[in-house]
Amino acid sequence: MTDLFSPLPLRAITLPNRLVVSPMCQYSAAEGMVNDWHFAHLSRFALGGFGTVMVEASAVTPEGRISPGDVGIWNDSQAGALARIATFLKSQGTIAAIQLAHAGRKASTRRPWHGGTALDAGDLRQRGEVAWQTVAPSVLAHADDYPQPVALDEAGMEAICQAFVDATRRAEAAGFDMVEVHCAHGYLLHQFLSPLSNQRDDAYGGSLQHRMRFPLRVIAAVRKAWPDDKPLLVRISAIDAAAGGWQLDDSVEFCHALKALGVDVVDCSSGGITSSYEGPGGPGYQVPYARRIREQTGVATMAVGLITDPRQAQSIINNGDADLVALARQALVDPQWPLHAEKQLGGDPTDFSRWPLQSASRLAARAKSLARHG
């Protein structure tokens, strides 16, 4: 078996393989509650052989949602609904993970298919969706078509930190094996890190150390609230991909601090702090970020971004570029990508032992019949 399908122990949890489904917002919740769509959307990936499946960005407060359709984990009823998903994922031998998030100044927007811009009175009339006040490190809107935030004070930051802690405890109660703190893509914790969005002149702005202070405070609190025997992940934007923004050297320093706090895996993405992206592109374009952070900090990393081919994914693991490979849109294209990849990488075309029992024997019989008859 290739390294792509080898297990990865993290604390007391062992991931069955190196393939992860990235959190993908579905914008289909009501009042933060998951429903049958989310169950079906996520369950297919467990049936398809992914070792870890991560629930989409789940807001720790109502104001932390990107849109009115975002999943939430700010109350126990939401956690109870999420438990159904975690239970099914685990029943298939898959690690159940969830991403905890706060959108900051990128909140209070329409769903993508409604335009993705700021909610207004028209949305109230058409869909009953009410805009809310957004918050950020500084009074700087994400873009012209986004709402104007208010700057967080100490009390506001403490409330959000506590909300992350409460959400972490709910994730444990719901049965999740791993949590990931969202510190990327221009959302609140990333907004504190980037000099493009953080123009504070207090202890939370200015120097790199000051800009890292609030995100590290939140992550430390989450680590303390999360069981010692369960892994903690953090997703970062390794670069802002915008002039004057967060750089890879900054990420290396930040990841040294994350490792010291007990973070087990850094999920390496990029961009999102502005409405444009000025970085590299192409297949596996973010893999070098995962490799450099892994090499220079010693923390395990996850590579993500235009990884589509099994041999490409295998080489990332075999070459030591990252410890995990995450798929998002490619998983949407092929929810059974790992099962198909195994055969493309030299697996026995008649062996369906890793497929769900309900289909394995039928598929094995068909494969043997096809082999006999050319």
Q: Tell me, what's the pLDDT at 300?
A: 98
* Alpha-carbon dihedral sign for residues 220, 221, 222, 223: positive
- Looking at the predicted structure, is the pLDDT value of residue 370 above 70? yes
Q: Tell me, what's the pLDDT at 13?
A: 97
Q: Tell me, what's the pLDDT at 36?
A: 98
Between helix 154-173 and helix 208-225 the angle, nearest 10°, is 30
Cβ atoms of 27 and 364 closer than 8 Å: no
| Residue type at 102 in one-letter notation | H
Element of type H or E holding 55:
strand 52-59
Residue-wise DSSP of 89-158: HHHTTPEEEEEEE--GGG-SB--GGGTSSB--HHHHHHH-PPP---EESSS--SSTTSPPPEE--HHHHH
187 is catalytic: yes
Q: Tell me, what's the pLDDT at 60?
A: 98
Q: Tell me, what's the pLDDT at 243?
A: 95
List C-alpha distances in Å: 104 to 96, 183, 273: 26, 11, 11
Q: The whole model's pTM is what?
A: 0.95
371 part of a folded domain: no
pLDDT digits (tens, 9 = 90+) for 26-84: 999 999 999 999 999 999 999 999 999 999 999 999 999 999 999 999 999 999 999 99
Whole-angstrom Cα distance, residue 127 to residue 324? 40
pLDDT digits (tens, 9 = 90+) for 191-215: 999 999 999 999 999 999 999 999 9
Whole-angstrom Cα distance, residue 44 to residue 29? 18
Q: Tell me, what's the pLDDT at 369?
A: 83
List C-alpha distances in Å: 272 to 111, 187, 215, 304: 17, 8, 17, 15
Tracing tokens 């019949």 back to the chain, one arrives at 369
Look up the CATH number of the domain holding residue 141. 3.20.20.70
What residues form DSSP beta bridges with 52?
Answer: 20, 95
27 part of a folded domain: yes
276: confidence class by pLDDT, cuts 50, 70, 90: confident
pLDDT digits (tens, 9 = 90+) for 126-184: 999 999 999 999 999 999 999 999 999 999 999 999 999 999 999 999 999 999 999 99
367: confidence class by pLDDT, cuts 50, 70, 90: confident
354 part of a folded domain: no
348 part of a folded domain: no
Count of domains for the chain: 1
373 part of a folded domain: no
- Looking at the predicted structure, is the pLDDT value of residue 1 above 60? no
Cβ atoms of 124 and 108 closer than 8 Å: no
What residues form DSSP beta bridges with 14?
Answer: 9
Q: What is the rounded average pLDDT of the residues 284-304?
A: 97
Cβ atoms of 1 and 307 closer than 8 Å: no
Q: Helix or strand or coil: residue 318?
A: helix
- Sequence length of the chain is 374
Cβ atoms of 20 and 54 closer than 8 Å: yes
- With a CB cutoff of 8 Å and minimum separation 6, the contacts of 51 are 8, 15, 16, 17, 18, 19, 20, 94, 95, 338
In the chain, the percentage of residues whose pLDDT exceeds 70 is 99
Burial 11-44 (b: 16+ CB within 10 A, else e): eebebbbbbbbbbbbbbbbeebebeeebbebbbb
19 part of a folded domain: yes
61 part of a folded domain: yes
pLDDT, the chain, mean:
96
Q: Tell me, what's the pLDDT at 173?
A: 98
User: Nearest Cα to 246, choosing from 207, 282, 199, 195?
Assistant: 195
Beta strands, E only, 142-281: 150-151, 178-183, 232-237, 265-269
> β-strand 232-237 against 265-269: which pairing, if any?
parallel
371: confidence class by pLDDT, cuts 50, 70, 90: confident
Give me the catalytic one of 27, 187, 204, 289: 187
pLDDT digits (tens, 9 = 90+) for 206-249: 999 999 999 999 999 999 999 999 999 999 999 999 999 999 99
- Burial (CB count <10 Å: 0-12, 13-18, 19+), residue 207: exposed
Q: Tell me, what's the pLDDT at 374?
A: 64
Whole-angstrom Cα distance, residue 90 to residue 53? 10
306 part of a folded domain: yes
Q: Tell me, what's the pLDDT at 281?
A: 87
Q: What range does the domain containing 78 cover?
A: 3-335
